[in-house]
């Protein structure tokens, strides 16, 4: 206070906030003493507010955590700012830096304690923006207005809102069917953008198509490796489809799915199969060329070249293969058969596929040939010459004819007959055993009657129709001295006159012996000879001639024998 003028002056800066804090009005009560005369004045000095304090937040930065699944509209209480001023200078309004997810909201339940809320306007996604940074500004009502800020660091808390996801929806794999057990089929790779256990996953095979193959594959649940647990077989299954899922460890867990398509490649692991579908054996020997003997089915379970089969037969004749339609072959006759040369054919059928290396299947076929009556019986000799003495006894074996027939069975069952007799009258002389071909005498021979026989023999088999062969048996009869010479008087001139001259023919004789050769060669003489002698005139004829003069008075009558003896041994006489 100025002592002279009594002016009250401000000696140091007034600070309403320091003096009065939040209370209003801010009155400074002064007692002013005036001496001489002593008087006391009461002075009330009101300090009015000016906006000299900016709003202040408790901290420059505020960490907030929000679960990412908070629904839009959720409100989170914020600590507001304070302003040491009063009145409008302390009237705060809030704004937040522009954000599509957040706004601030003041709630004037009563004006004394306003609540400040952070309001979520849009769903959060930790995986897109894990942390939001906002600047919250508080402005007071002064003119000019003062502001204070706080940085809101909003961390979005993970929830299990992401399912694991495979890097491919379909994994295409090709493996040969001979892939070993344990072969890696596929390395799956799923990822989960959640964190912690929400992002940890377990791989599992859900289903396998075909279902029977569910034990064929194993999966490493942590690493997603699928391996073969069994052996593949292209011929059984060519394509597998595995539905695999990856599940995270959230509660509840989420899963992702993928498909593994395994194509099996054929390997030449099957040899061709030769199968006889029908077989007509035995084959008749007279079957015509082109006759189908067997129908074969040739198959190979492999595919493509591995299953393409080539077929042949060994030896190459007399049978051949003809392809009829896919995988079917006919074994046909290519050349005429001859059972007598080869009665049984052993064929080797070979089928080989086009794999590398190629596999081979074989089959042995035994084809027997059924006899046809295609061979006539044949005699060992065309002519059998036999000599027998005419004295041969009835029943004696003349000869045995023998024929052979290379056919079998009734086609070679032979029977013998005599078809022609020469001379024709000789039917009863011989007989033949139809089975054995033995020829026996059934009558007597007589050289003098027939000295040579000629028989025609037929042999016949029992085929249908039967075939026959022929031979000739010539039987020569040998003479035996069985006929005595015979002497006959052809003419006789008796009595003889006593004076007949020497040389007179008394009788003409005929001498014969039916035997031949020495047996028929006859010597003749007169006994006792007396005056007579024999003179051969011509063959077999003799004359009894007078050799001496007769004398009736001495001998009136002669009795003579003409004797004949043949040359047989022993000789016979007549």
Applying CB under 6 A, the residues found at the interface with ligand NAG are: 59, 63, 153, 167-168, 187, 189
What backbone torsions phi and psi does residue 196 show, to the nearest 5 degrees?
60, -145
Q: What does the alpha-carbon distance between residue 539 and residue 519 come to, in Å, rounded to a whole number?
A: 15
Shortest distance in whole angstroms from residue 312 CB to ligand NAG:
49
Judged by beta carbon, residue 94 or residue 203, the one nearer ligand NAG is 203
Judged by beta carbon, residue 23 or residue 63, the one nearer ligand NAG is 63
Shortest distance in whole angstroms from residue 262 CB to ligand NAG:
15
Q: Which has the closest alpha carbon to 218: 230, 200, 232?
A: 230
Judged by beta carbon, residue 80 or residue 485, the one nearer ligand NAG is 80
Judged by beta carbon, residue 16 or residue 126, the one nearer ligand NAG is 126
Shortest distance in whole angstroms from residue 59 CB to ligand NAG:
6
The DSSP symbol for 472 reads: E
Percentages (nearest 5) of helix, strand, coil residues in the chain: 5, 45, 45
Q: Which has the closest alpha carbon to 284: 407, 376, 377, 404?
A: 407
Judged by beta carbon, residue 187 or residue 297, the one nearer ligand NAG is 187
Chain residue whose CB lies nearest ligand NAG: 189
**Beta 360-370 vs 283-284: how paired, if at all?**
parallel
Q: Which has the closest alpha carbon to 244: 181, 187, 182?
A: 187
Q: What does the alpha-carbon distance between residue 232 and residue 174 come to, in Å, rounded to a whole number?
A: 12
User: Contact at 8 Å (CB) between 360 and 409?
Assistant: no
Burial of 547 (0-12, 13-18, 19+ CB in 10 A): middle
Q: What does the alpha-carbon distance between residue 100 and residue 124 come to, in Å, rounded to a whole number?
A: 10
Shortest distance in whole angstroms from residue 228 CB to ligand NAG:
18
Shortest distance in whole angstroms from residue 54 CB to ligand NAG:
21
User: Contact at 8 Å (CB) between 485 and 522?
Assistant: yes
Q: Which has the closest alpha carbon to 68: 4, 8, 129?
A: 129
Shortest distance in whole angstroms from residue 246 CB to ligand NAG:
12
Judged by beta carbon, residue 60 or residue 239, the one nearer ligand NAG is 60
Per DSSP, the residues of 481-507 read: S----EEEEEEE--SPPTTPPTT-EEE
Shortest distance in whole angstroms from residue 188 CB to ligand NAG:
7
Q: Which has the closest alpha carbon to 270: 239, 297, 235?
A: 235
Shortest distance in whole angstroms from residue 68 CB to ligand NAG:
17
Judged by beta carbon, residue 63 or residue 324, the one nearer ligand NAG is 63
Judged by beta carbon, residue 27 or residue 59, the one nearer ligand NAG is 59
Shortest distance in whole angstroms from residue 124 CB to ligand NAG:
17
**Beta 239-248 vs 255-265: how paired, if at all?**
antiparallel
- Going along 272-316, which residue ranges are E strands? 273-279, 283-284, 292-299, 309-314
Judged by beta carbon, residue 154 or residue 562, the one nearer ligand NAG is 154
Shortest distance in whole angstroms from residue 225 CB to ligand NAG:
9
| ∠ Cα 81 87 88 (to 5°) | 75
Shortest distance in whole angstroms from residue 32 CB to ligand NAG:
52
Judged by beta carbon, residue 168 or residue 212, the one nearer ligand NAG is 168
Q: Which has the closest alpha carbon to 239: 267, 210, 215?
A: 210
Shortest distance in whole angstroms from residue 63 CB to ligand NAG:
4
Number of H helices, E strands in the chain: 2, 41
Judged by beta carbon, residue 206 or residue 220, the one nearer ligand NAG is 220
Shortest distance in whole angstroms from residue 176 CB to ligand NAG:
20
For residue 160, count other CB atoms closer than 10 A to its CB. 20
Burial call 63-78: b when 16+ CB within 10 Å, e when fewer: eeebebbbeeeeebeb
Q: Which two tokens stand for residue 259?
A: 């498909």
Q: Which two tokens stand for residue 455?
A: 């028989």
Judged by beta carbon, residue 187 or residue 381, the one nearer ligand NAG is 187
Judged by beta carbon, residue 152 or residue 293, the one nearer ligand NAG is 152
| ∠ Cα 499 503 504 (to 5°) | 60
């Amino acid at each position: 206070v100025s002592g002279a003028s009594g002016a009250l002056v401000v000696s140091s800066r007034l600070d309403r906030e320091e003096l009065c804090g939040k209370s209003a009005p801010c009155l400074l009560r002064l007692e002013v003493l005036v001496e001489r005369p002593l008087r006391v004045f009461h002075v009330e000095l009101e300090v009015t507010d000016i906006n000299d304090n900016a709003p202040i937040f408790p901290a420059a930065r505020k960490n907030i955590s929000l679960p990412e699944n908070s629904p839009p509209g959720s409100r989170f209480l914020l600590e507001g700012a304070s302003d040491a001023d009063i009145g409008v200078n302390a009237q705060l309004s809030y704004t937040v830096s522009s954000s599509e997810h957040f706004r601030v909201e003041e709630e004037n339940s009563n004006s004394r304690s306003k609540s400040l809320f952070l309001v979520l306007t849009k769903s959060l996604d930790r995986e897109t923006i894990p942390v939001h940074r906002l600047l919250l500004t508080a402005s007071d009502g002064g003119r000019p207005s003062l502001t204070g800020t706080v940085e809101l660091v909003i961390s979005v808390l993970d929830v299990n809102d992401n399912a694991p996801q495979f890097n491919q929806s379909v994994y295409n794999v090709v493996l040969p069917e001979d892939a070993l057990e344990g072969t890696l089929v596929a390395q799956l790779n799923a990822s989960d953008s959640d964190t912690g256990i929400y992002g940890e996953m377990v791989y599992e095979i859900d289903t396998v198509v075909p279902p029977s193959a569910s034990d064929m594959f194993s999966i490493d649940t942590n690493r997603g490796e699928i391996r073969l647990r069994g052996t593949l077989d292209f011929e059984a299954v060519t394509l597998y489809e595995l539905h695999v899922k990856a599940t995270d460890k959230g509660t509840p867990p989420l899963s992702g799915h993928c498909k593994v398509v395994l194509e099996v490649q054929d390997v030449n692991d099957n040899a061709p199969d030769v199968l006889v579908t029908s077989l007509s054996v035995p084959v008749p020997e007279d079957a015509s060329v082109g006759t189908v003997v067997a129908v074969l089915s040739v198959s190979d379970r492999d595919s493509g070249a591995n299953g393409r089969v080539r077929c042949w037969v060994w030896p190459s004749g007399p049978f051949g293969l003809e392809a009829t339609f896919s995988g079917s072959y006919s074994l046909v006759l290519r050349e005429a058969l001859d059972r007598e040369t080869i009665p049984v054919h052993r064929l080797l059928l070979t089928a080989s596929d086009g794999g590398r290396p190629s596999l081979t299947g074989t089959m042995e076929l035994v084809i027997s040939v059924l006899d046809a009556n295609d061979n006539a019986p044949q005699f060992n000799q065309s002519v059998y010459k036999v000599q027998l003495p005419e004295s041969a006894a009835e029943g004696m074996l003349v000869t045995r004819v023998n024929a052979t027939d290379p056919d079998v069975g009734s086609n070679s069952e032979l029977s013998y007959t005599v078809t022609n007799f020469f001379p024709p009258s000789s039917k009863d002389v011989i007989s033949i055993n139809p089975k054995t071909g033995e020829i026996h005498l059934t009558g007597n021979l007589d050289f003098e009657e027939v000295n040579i026989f000629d028989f025609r023999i037929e042999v016949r088999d029992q085929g249908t129709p039967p075939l026959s062969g022929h031979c000739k048996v010539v039987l020569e009869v040998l003479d035996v001295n069985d006929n005595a010479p015979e002497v006959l008087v052809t003419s006789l001139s008796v009595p003889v006159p006593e004076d007949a001259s020497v040389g007179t023919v008394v009788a003409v004789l005929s001498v014969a012996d039916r035997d031949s050769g020495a047996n028929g060669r006859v010597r003749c003489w007169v006994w006792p000879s007396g005056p007579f002698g024999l003179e051969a005139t011509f063959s077999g004829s003799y004359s009894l001639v007078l050799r001496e003069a007769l004398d009736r008075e001495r001998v009136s009558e002669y009795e003579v024998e003409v004797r004949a003896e043949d040359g047989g041994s022993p000789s016979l006489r007549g």
